[in-house]
Chains A and B, each alone.
Chain A
C-alpha cells in the first residue's frame, strides 16, 4: 500500500519529560499551531532528568493532527511503540527512539531495513528519532524504494506547572529584554566616560549567546555586542556579556581592563523592583557596590 497522506505537513505534540514540544515542518509560511498549551497539555509530575523518562512520556503523550493513536497488539509485527491511524484507515507503525544527538549511520540503516521489510508486508513502519538536546525530530522510513529522512523542527515549546505555563515566547522576550538592557548599559557607560578622557567606543565585536535555557526552548543563538572602550589605538576596557540566566542575578557582564576582570551583575531584591547593575568585588564575591559613574571611572578611568 502506497502512502496517500502528506506526512511532511503534520504537526506533532509530545511531552519529553518537563517540556511539551510541537514539532512541525521547517520553512514555508508561518502556520497556526494545531495545539494549545491550555487545552492540549496536562500537568505532569516534574522530573530531574528528562532523558530518563522521555521515551515513556513521548509514547504516552504523542498526538498527531488528524490521526488517532493506539498502542500495538502484542502480535503486531516488529513490535512498534505506537500505531497511528487516519480516518481513511491508513495505519503507520511508529517506533520511538530518544537520542541526545542525531542518529548514527547504523541507527538509520536498521530503521530503513525495518521499514523496508514492513513495506513488503504492506505495512508503513517509521522510526521517529527525537533529539532531546537540540530539539529535533527525524522521521526515518522507506518509501517508493527510497530511504527517507524527514526533519521536523520545534515550532513551540512550553512547560506547564500548576502555577503557570512558560513558553518559548517568554524566553524570546527575555533575550530581547537582555539585549535592550545591554544597550541601555552601554549608553550609560559611553555617556559617563565620554566626559572623562578622550575615549571612543565601538560595538562591532560580538559574543554568541547560546544558553541552556535557549536550547531547551529552541531559541536560536544570538550575537550580542561587546562594548570596547578605546583610547588612542588601545582597547582599555571591554564589556563582554557572559550570560543572562544566572543563580542570584539577572545577567552578567565582564568588564575586562588591562589590570583585571570585574564582574557586573544585574540584581534586584524583590521581583517588582527594577533591575540595577552592581559590581562584584574581585576580592570577595559576596561584596557588591553600585555601578555608577564613580565606580566605573574607578575601574576603567584610573588606568
Chain B
C-alpha cells in the first residue's frame, strides 16, 4: 500500500464530512459546493504529485537496470539516466507504460486535466470528479510496479 491509499481514505472522509454538512445545514449550500470543487482539485493534484514521485522512482529503476548493459544501448540508457532529472512526466510514463497503450492514453488525458487545474485555475471536468475511484486506480497501477 502506498501513500495514495491514505490520500484516498482522507478524501473519502472529507467528502463524507461535507455531505453530512449539506444534510444537516438548513441554509444555502453554495459555499459547500465551492468547497467540494476545491477539495476535488486539491486531492487530484495531491494524488498526481504522489504518483509522479513513484513514477520517477520506477523509471529510474528501469533505466538503471538497462544502463548496466555494456552495449551501445547501454550507453544510451546511461545517458538517459544522467539526464533523468530533465525528463518530462509524459516521457517517464512512456518508459513505464509503453506496452499498455490504454493505460498510457488515460494517464495522458489525466495529466492534461492536472495541468489545467494546476496552471490554468480550472475546475475538474465531470469525468475526473470521481476522485476516490481515480486514486484507487493509481494505487492499482503503482502496485504493479
Q: Which residues of A are interface residues toward B (Cβ below 8 A)?
A: 100, 205-208, 211-212, 226, 228, 235, 237-238, 240, 243, 245-247, 254, 256-258, 260-261, 285
Contacts and interface: CB of A to CB of B under 8 A. Distances in A.
Given A212-B125, A243-B126, A245-B126, A235 B33 contact: no
Given A207-B30, A207-B33, A211-B126, 16 more contacts: A100-B120, A205-B28, A206-B28, A206-B29, A207-B29, A208-B30, A226-B22, A235-B24, A240-B19, A243-B129, A245-B126, A246-B126, A247-B126, A256-B20, A260-B16, A261-B19
Q: Which among B15, B19, B125, B133 has the highest number of chain A CB atoms within 10 Å?
A: B19
Contacts of A211: 126
A212 B133 CA distance: 21
A122 to B, nearest CB: 41
Contacts of B29: 205-207, 226, 240
A238 B125 contact: no
B23 interface: yes
A228 B127 CA distance: 27
Contacts of A207: 29-30, 33
Contacts, number: 46
Contacts of A206: 28-29
A224 to B, nearest CB: 11
Interface residues of B, number: 19
Interface string B121-133: 0000111010001
Contact of B22 (A100, A238, A260): A238
A254 B129 CA distance: 14
A128 B145 CA distance: 51
Contacts of B19: 240, 254, 256, 261
Contacts of A235: 23-24
A261 B126 contact: no
Contact of A208 (B15, B33, B126, B133): B33
Contact of B23 (A208, A212, A238): A238
Interface string B73-115: 0000000000000000000000000000000000000000000
A206 B26 CA distance: 11
A227 B29 CA distance: 13
B126 A285 contact: no
B22 A240 contact: yes
A207 B31 CA distance: 10
A234 to B, nearest CB: 8
Nearest to A236: B23
A258 B133 CA distance: 22
A247 B129 CA distance: 11
A26 B100 CA distance: 51
A282 B15 CA distance: 14
A147 B23 CA distance: 50
Return the 8 tightest CB-CB contacts between A and B, nearest first. Answer: A238-B23, A256-B23, A256-B19, A261-B19, A247-B127, A235-B23, A243-B126, A245-B126
A247 B128 CA distance: 10
A260 B15 CA distance: 11
Contacts of A261: 15-16, 19
